[in-house]
Structure 1
Amino acid sequence: AKSGQVPRAALDAKVKGSGTDTDTPDELDWRDMGAVTEVKDQGALGSCWAFSTAGNLEGQLFLSGSQLTSLSVEQLLECDSSYDVAQGHADCGEFGGWPYLAMQYVIDAGGLRSDAVMPYCAGIGYGQEGYCIPCMPEGYSKALCGDYDDDDQIPLFCDESTTLGQGPAGYCSNADGVAVTINDWKAISTNETTIAAELAATGPLSIALNAQRLQFYKSGVYNPSSCNPDNLDHAVLMVGFGTDDIPYWTIKNSWGTSWGEDGYFRIVRGTGACGVNTAVVSGLI
């Protein structure tokens, strides 16, 4: 996520529920039910928000009766310049973004393509097979995203008539070949019992948290002694929950399979650890 405060007002306006506490199992793992694609690696870019969004919509697409399909993170990076002035947040391509804004982009754009049609290339190491030059979506907000000129990181804007990006000409201005469309998006309340019920009822959920110390995680249930829940800087995908002496959430990261528990981590459930409960959203097909 683009580091910042919880966009509470924007999320509260979209809180909806479908699960009930009485329907919630003691443990759940959507991987076992085939609703989660393979772990990806975002590379050196701040593209976690796009992976989190795509992961949620992959689950929603599968649970609607379609084949499990990896969706295009690259389309979100190159085409989504959504912003929320009231909250001071924006989707800033490789420099970060917010899943709740990306959900609205998918609605407005008419859908999201598959990764096969528009593969992730901006985060692949320079010179490696499949690499493309990272570029910024038209409408990129310097006011909300920052002006990187001072760091000699002048954003290149995605030129739809060239091969800077991975889509065909005009890919940001039309909805040709989309794999999924959504009608709306919802936010879940911060109550973790409600989140568990919603996860069980509707599939994997897009979340954001404070990941300041997460790079040191190896395995087990992450139970940080200090972690600011009000400053979110990383978006991931919640796929399950259970208990291993203490209750935990199972979460899919986008740092490759060599990190954590084969690309996943578990974090203590029920304490609001690292703000894991503060920005939970899902698309609605």
Structure 2
Amino acid sequence: MPATRSPRAPRRPSSPAVPDTAHTDWHDLRAPNAWLLMLEGRAPWEYAALLASLPWMKKLPHGDGHPVLVFPGLGANDLTTAPLRALLESLGYATQPWGQGFNFGPRAGVLEQAKADLQALHRRHHRKVSLIGWSLGGIYARELAKECPELARCVVTLGTPFTGHPRATNAWRFFEMVSGHTSNDADLMAQIRTAPPVPTTSIYSKSDGVVAWRCSVNEPSPLAENIEVQASHIGLGVNPIALYALADRLAQPDGDWQPFEPKGARRWFYKAPERP
């Protein structure tokens, strides 16, 4: 097992350019409007942009070979995360898909299998595992990191609705239909809203047409941050700007996590957070 540097106290991330979540009335949040939902048609163009940028993306800092477990979104399977995993493999990471077919919610045995996969991946590599989740898949990533923090290196979510009103999305009816669970469980949402005790990044878009963007905002803390990108919900996992930020987060040394800073050329693509 490779040696790691002694943990350094992370800088406290500055407050993101979003409303103070402590004073947000989550019941006032609404699902994205019809115009934003129509903008989800951008996704094929985002994938085309990824293909065009691959020569540049493959020059990103290479990882240290640690394992990465990737969870797809609601109603999606591992095919949708294949481009993301292929990019990370090219950067030196050992990726693993979730391997449970279509993600139809936390049905019987799903979370138990996800935990078993995390434990097996940790045993096989003798390294902590980074957990990546797209949309609903991000809920699995966050909850696994809470249950097994000793196995989790970091969590990165893409358009994941972990806070806000449970029905402030355009997918809640589909979720209830395929999962058999209600989407309006206040106790469950209170649990999900809490960030994991490991470095946690939420990559979100204010033009998300499926999830109200405020539902994807972590309350700032020493180990939780938010990165805003311009993307559709369906295209977040193939959007080159989102994947650049994701790769940047994974490349940090274990135990030496620092918040994302949009400096230099990054300022063209990422909005600088507001200073308190």
More strand by share: 1
More helix by share: 2
